[in-house]
Structure 1
Amino acid sequence: MRLLAIDTSAAHCSAALYDAGTLTQRLAPAQRRHGELIVGMMDELLQAAGLRAAALDAFAFARGPGSFTGLRIAAAVVQGAALAADKPVVGVSTLAALAQGCRRDAGAQRVLCALDARMGEVYAGAYAANAQGLMEALLDDRVCAPEAVTVPGGPRPWAAAGSGWQTYPEVLAAAVRAACGTGPASVEAERPCEAQDVAVLAAADYAAGALLDPADALPVYLRDRVTSSAAK
């Protein structure tokens, strides 16, 4: 299986080529240059592998939640690339990919992800590793006040990731303590979503037949209110 995955959901920009289980990634701070950088990253990966887009099985993208502008860029780029190559698309939750990164780097079993959603809210998701080492949602991703974040109980420790932990560390840690009796075992507030983790999850979805027509590859904002302050 070969697929090309991208993420432009936050401050970083990344693209990853998944080729029969082998991953190659390009990752860089974007500073509002996502649209300028991402296509070049995709082309560079394909050229380095000696591949054309037609040789891919699918394209994948981090569908959200995240920056409204960034999510729109990823969706538009993937739609255009998939249409041109006549390939399907796989959309992956940004929070799931963030949790998968914690699994990849630190072997985390359960991860509570929280991204700062502005306007006093967070995008939150609770994930646990399955038997294949892939992070699966324990609860649906949601946008809510940090005080309303739901944490599944149980004895196993939680890892924590995402910018919400930088903005609301005490409130979110209290939610973990209330559910599990202890705070998070680790906190990575500055960990970015990475395309390589999007690719791993997308490969599993592809194998399961969870594919989208390019026209249906749309962002998942979680919040209906799109404002200029939230889009930053």
Structure 2
Amino acid sequence: MPNLLALDASSSACSAALLIQRGGGEPRLVSRFALTPREHTRRLLPMVDEVLAEAGVTVAELDAVSYGRGPGSFTGLRIAAGTAQGLAYGLDLPLLGVSTLEALALAAHRRHGVEYVVTAMDARMGEIYVAAWRCHDGAVEALREEAVMPPQRLQLPEMAERVGWYGIGSGWSLWEKMPTEVQSSVTQRDVEAEPAAEEMVLLAARDHAQGIRPAAHESQPIYLRDQVAWQKGK
């Protein structure tokens, strides 16, 4: 397993995580997470230093860097992308962008063991960032691609009536504006959850193992503002 560093500043939270494996032992995950609105620039690099110091790892021992590529706060995404790119460039390492919505889905699965997850983040301007996932055995499978839309237009995959859905993310604070069929299908919600580097580093390790290792200049934040529709699938 490679030594991977992840960082995120896509929401009100700021986080860093390190996944390492030494001497054939079990992988070790070290992370930091804090709700720090408008303090991401000041807090992100110290968090990186903290996880490296706790694990006893130097940046020279890293095999790749990853970050929350979005969707999320435009300013936060730029902060994370710039910091991650600076590290990856300086160390000549691959840079893996990880979906903030996929990280939320994995968080719901890890914490609560749920299988079907709808992630929704508040996109401001009366919209939400959304996606739907199936989680099983620690893996995450996309059932609907990520998009941005008004909460009134949210639709679930057609199997929605046959399964129980778990809603996670700040977008569920707009619950009252969502269609009644969504409200009847989503049986549990976690409105307070924010994307975290802890899940991102696990998703980055998966991608790295699959040979996904883009150069630092190839990675770009994902804003989604140009995608305005999320069609109901067949």
TM-score (norm 2): 0.89
**Is the strand fraction higher in 1 or 2?**
2
| Other structure's SS at 1:117 match | strand
| Other structure's SS at 2:69 match | strand
Match of 2:125 in 1: 119
Contiguous gaps of at least 5 residues in structure 2: 22-26, 228-234
Q: Deviations over 1:199-221 (max 9, x none)?
A: 11111011111222111221100
Contact 1:60 1:92 in 2 (8 A): yes
Residue 47, structure 1, aligned to residue 49, structure 2: no
Contact 2:20 2:28 in 1 (8 A): yes
Residue 158, structure 1, aligned to residue 159, structure 2: no
For residue 71 of structure 2, what is the amino acid of its counterpart?
P
Of 200, 207, 211, 1:198 maps to: 200
Runs of 4+ in 1 over 6 A off after TM superposition: none
Deviation of the 1:91 alpha carbon = 0.8
Taking only the aligned residue pairs, the percentage that are identical comes to 41
| Other structure's SS at 2:85 match | helix
Match of 1:3 in 2: 4
Residue 128, structure 1, aligned to residue 134, structure 2: yes
Contact 1:8 1:74 in 2 (8 A): yes
Q: Deviations over 1:107-162 (max 9, x none)?
A: 110111111111111111101114x4222211110011112223112212100011
Contiguous gaps of at least 5 residues in structure 1: 226-232
Contact 1:173 1:183 in 2 (8 A): no
Matched residues, number: 219
Residue 56, structure 1, aligned to residue 62, structure 2: yes
| Other structure's SS at 2:220 match | coil
TM-score (norm 1): 0.90
**Higher mean displacement: 205-214 or 97-106:** 205-214
Match of 1:220 in 2: 222
Deviation of the 1:45 alpha carbon = 1.0
Aligned positions of 1:1-232 closer than 5 A: 1-20=2-21, 21-130=27-136, 132-154=137-159, 155-166=162-173, 168-172=174-178, 174-176=180-182, 182-224=184-226
Question: In the aligned structure 1, how far is the partner of 2:92 from the partner of 2:60?
Answer: 8
Question: In the aligned structure 2, how far is the partner of 1:217 from the partner of 1:197?
Answer: 19
